[in-house]
Amino acid sequence: MGIPKFPKILYTKMAIRRYQLSSANIDIPKGHFSVYVGENSIKRFIVPLEYLKHPSFQTLLKLSEEEFGYAHPMGGLTFPCTEETFIELVKRIHLT
């Protein structure tokens, strides 16, 4: 018997902490930054700075630059993808 795999949701919770926009005034821990994700409803995610080095995350940064430039109305880093896509990306980054 091997060690059972954790459910996907557990990996996601370990990799990121999500805050609603209404709680945007919560301090961001040292070594982390916030991003905004979503198409219809925008969610705020707190992610580790180390993710900036990952090629998949860098691709998402380039897409964001192409879509929004550096002056997005949200006032923060916003990714042009669904929440589900972002969570899947973070899960893959966390597992590598």
In a domain? residue 2: no
In a domain? residue 3: no
**Which pLDDT score is estimated for 20?**
40
Q: Are strands 32-37 and 43-48 parallel, antiparallel or unpaired?
A: antiparallel
In a domain? residue 84: yes
Query: Structural domain tally of the chain?
Result: 1
Q: Which of 14-18, 39-43, 44-48 has the lowest mean pLDDT?
A: 14-18
36: Cα separation from own chain's centroid: 7
Nearest to 16 by CA among 61, 53, 47: 47
What the block records as the tokens of 42 is 């925008």
In a domain? residue 86: yes
Segments forming the whole domain that contains residue 54: 8-95
In the predicted structure, residue 22 carries a pLDDT above the cut 50: no
**Which pLDDT score is estimated for 72?**
62
In a domain? residue 1: no
Bigger pLDDT: 63 or 14? 63
pTM: 0.67
Bigger pLDDT: 5 or 53? 53
In a domain? residue 18: yes
Bigger pLDDT: 62 or 27? 62
Phi and psi at 8, nearest 5°, equal: -55, -40
**Which pLDDT score is estimated for 96?**
80
